Structure 1
């Protein structure tokens, strides 16, 4: 319940802040703030999905979803990443146009919005910094990135107060958008790999197989399938040839222990005898 509460707190705080940023982007005429508004909107959607999925994750599997609802989070990441990459490209286009038609933004307004951004994101990050669930940790990383971005906008706004260098505003927005595209492209790629049942990147398959082959009584592995359920937990099915039926229980216990240490939550082993 604590994880769900922390995420809901961050979700409400970010919705309120999104309204402030949208108004701030309009009144300050800053494409840098507009670009960061896009990132903040992404984070709000992500937090909302995380909060909803934290509640849904308590549901038991059923006849329709025999593995449960874990992959709904991956679907959410895929949809969000795709939309934000498209919008980021549009923001870059607008920022490049602004470079050729320079408009001096309201530096004072930018400074105020940047300070509010640091405060709101800081409060959300503080609420989540002791979280132990994957959702909390993932959202915390997003929030920390947001804080650094708002610090960059704050610095730019201070510079604009003292020097008339309006080109810095669209340059920052391009930088933020490129960073978003780069970061979310990795998220998009990771989501697709999970849907396509690629083996988990955190597990060395050859090393894993060798650890099973090293078990006394195991002669060979002739069928091996390992895939990620949701990017965190994994599923394994394998067929082993063993030399003695009496060793089956011991081999299964050791195989399960190896799987558990690799965060594999579901293991199916079939035995055949030489």
Structure 2
């Protein structure tokens, strides 16, 4: 006995539209930053452009994962393809780690040889401002969708890092223009690399939670079990399992012991409906499966375990 709640998440076609717009904005600004980095000699702009490149790649991965995940379930993949976006998020996390290492190495090399650095602060400032505005627009577009999709969240976090990175580049450009301290460019690059680390680790940790079928963060199995035990007609609840197909798609199963007379007097259907409603209203569970059983059935199972 189970219930399928309406699903939002990445199945909403609006997410694909938002990701497409964000991709167009990101790719355009990336090209502007690459040109600006070459003309100005700014490592920080080049690092930010590299980050934008990985953002564009991540958005492409997100779009592909969204398209795959939207495919309906079949007899072979009974839950559908929602896990595709988790794999996309895994790719995003790995890209972020690699990017962090590259930017960090380049920044240290520039700090160790400041005499070789020649940065045009004015052009650097203009391009960084353009990047900041574009990142702010992309964040606004993805802000609501990222609360329901782990893959969109990955793209959102990368754009957030770009926004902060653009601000750092703006500050570095201002320092170069006012003081001539060209090392500010390398310091800004190193700062961008440092920003990447916790975001990448957080995203990969969330991917691990999903792939290991652990209970979603913030979900307390004991609390759910106690809540269900308080329902009318329920004697006990056991064999509780909670996991998630992807962000915002929790799955729940449990064995529920009911009054012996519940099946005879027709109350079983009402008990099942109340349990499903309880999970949907109080715990926002997308898919729930219950096995209703009498105490005698449990004893029978225990003798044959």
Q: TM-score, normalised by structure 2?
A: 0.81
| Higher gyration radius (CA) | 2
Q: Secondary structure of 1:230's partner?
A: coil
Q: Which region of structure 1 is more displaced relative to structure 2, 51-60 or 154-163?
A: 51-60
- Structure 1 position 129, deviation (Å): 5.8
Residue in 2 aligned with 1:30?
42
Residue in 2 aligned with 1:216?
232
Matched, 1:273 2:294: yes
Q: Which region of structure 1 is more displaced relative to structure 2, 109-118 or 206-215?
A: 109-118
The gaps in structure 2 that reach 5 residues or longer are 1-12, 296-305
Deviations 1:240-269 (A, max 9, x none): 222233432222112111221323222111
Deviations 1:5-56 (A, max 9, x none): 3321221221122222223333333222233223322322332233334444
- Structure 1 residues 251, 38: closer, same or farther in 2, change over 3 A? farther
Matched, 1:94 2:114: no
- Structure 1 residues 196, 98: closer, same or farther in 2, change over 3 A? same
Deviations 1:37-95 (A, max 9, x none): 23322322332233334444432112332211111111011112112202311221221
Residue in 2 aligned with 1:61?
73
Residue in 1 aligned with 2:121?
107
The gaps in structure 1 that reach 5 residues or longer are none
Q: CA RMSD in A?
A: 2.4
- Structure 1 residues 81, 204: closer, same or farther in 2, change over 3 A? same
Supply the distance in 1 between the matched residues of 2:113 and 2:141 (Cα, whole angstroms): 42
- Structure 1 position 173, deviation (Å): 1.2
Q: How many residues align?
A: 274
Supply the distance in 2 between the matched residues of 1:133 and 1:83 (Cα, whole angstroms): 22
Matched, 1:256 2:276: yes
Q: Secondary structure of 1:240's partner?
A: strand
Q: Is contact 1:3-1:133 (8 Å) kept?
A: no
Q: Which region of structure 1 is more displaced relative to structure 2, 133-142 or 99-108?
A: 133-142
Q: Is contact 1:129-1:137 (8 Å) kept?
A: no
Supply the distance in 1 between the matched residues of 2:156 and 2:99 (Cα, whole angstroms): 23
- Structure 1 position 175, deviation (Å): 1.4
- Structure 1 residues 203, 269: closer, same or farther in 2, change over 3 A? same
- Structure 1 position 271, deviation (Å): 1.9
Supply the distance in 1 between the matched residues of 2:202 and 2:145 (Cα, whole angstroms): 24
Supply the distance in 2 between the matched residues of 1:142 and 1:124 (Cα, whole angstroms): 10
Q: TM-score, normalised by structure 1?
A: 0.89
